[in-house]
Structure 1
């Protein structure tokens, strides 16, 4: 039996992966700093193990993951979210026989770096907005010509992102938190999730947010876009990527696709695939498995959407629409054969909820703070 280690358990996408690998006949383990998580509550998880958070010390986290891989005879390690960058570095401590479903650390960090991604996409002839490092004269000139988006080079979930209007003063550059200024592109925003193998796209899902908590989509709708799919295919082929990879796009009024950000990891788009098919596509790197799409065109994270509906009631705008959507959209975590993760979510998510309430910020902004990669 293949033993699979998921290196985060608190997010719904980890739950999908756990269910998929279990149904494919695997023994599933979960490692997470919280120790008791949404995914760990599933009957499809054999064991959940607490590990130190990477932000408290990368070396300690790497050693803990390597110890689990060794002690539990893990065959396959699958990073789930922002911890991917740390797991990519930890793989140097694993037995060479252990597969890790991501690229080597230098490749992963190069695309997690928002300036590095722009350079890589431009080298492939793909459309990306003009981007300059904050603190350079070129950034000041860019801001004088039009609106710009300022964001840290290493960030996630919209943390530290701001729009600076044309002619306004750019924030001071902070050497401790390198940032970019990127030309603002007006248009419709889309996100994606791709499973890739040796530069070949196995499956791509494109979606857009229907309900947002801050900058994070908590209800989403899958769409078809041949132009976006082509953009992704060109990038994956040119980079020879293997693993999950995701992008954020803007499609402008003329229909031009602009890549604005890369996430070298899984995103919520994987919820639209049949979980067992995702697992089989990862387990059999030489196979040609078809990854089927679930019938739902819209999905949601119920409890997060419930919170947004409650806020809409107090704001006195959008409440009826959000309430109607809340009770007509399928939750990503609900499974009648495995109900406990959904039913216990308020308890397993309490560490994140507590931080979000204390700091008065959206759930998504604190959900991965302790596992993100924020410095070189």
Structure 2
């Protein structure tokens, strides 16, 4: 089967169906870690599925190689490989997938997102140089390409920025208070808002508090259902600060081991978390830690839970941000506003992030 024959025999509809299946396969891989979740479907020249594969974690076969391993020698000649991520072009614990596809005789590759890695990128060029037809998914279906990008968003962000994506959350009254004058803060918001917080905790790789909040509130930092049971996925607890974590603190009984960082160099701390496989960090409290992330420019999304109450007094949700004048205010876009029981959730993203998105060619994978 020649490459040109494979091009005419594999229809775009088959490509799209295969990419959706590849996404399902990718979701079977580990959500946490330094490696992306990738799925691959191998199609015959008539568009039928020959084999499927996915990446099961660091040190295991990549999705393309996993799929190829299920075929006899020669069975992949003239096939189309539909992969959620551009085939890698480097040797790590495993060999380059671009070479494996070439050696197997694959005639065409459709990939969902370009690999932004300095070492791993270049697979598409290597495949083209070997005479393989390479099709970025956005050339066929931009909406589906966006879906694949969204699936890989946390991993892509971490690779591009060498740090996790950071979500900063707080709950406050309408006048911006996170606690009453006596320090009490449970509960500013209602049950629906708290349930939403726990759901978002479970979506994150890690959850962070400062030692001040840890010592004052003794939080468990777990993600729990409304009945108190632990949810299936638990974020890794991260404590920022130099004060000692007490041996009997509730967080020491967390299903995941505690990571403590001194917080003096947030950029270095975040880079370390990224190297440990943390792609998303949920910064939960308190005001000192939230303010530090905001002042350093490390807040990629804000989640502000607003209760219809007033407290007054000094206990603000945020402290000093290093903003001397209104002209230097940290500006955000409202991404969403949601009613949760009696409370409101405001989701906001930095204006600078919007400007970067607007300046980027939406057809580019990187």
Higher helix share: 1
The question of a shared fold, defined as TM-score above 0.5 by the shorter chain, is answered with no
Give the TM-score category using the shorter length: under 0.3
Normalising by structure 2, we get a TM-score of 0.26
Which one has the largest radius of gyration?
Answer: 2
With a CA cutoff of 8 Å and minimum separation of 6, indicate the structure with the bigger relative contact order.
1
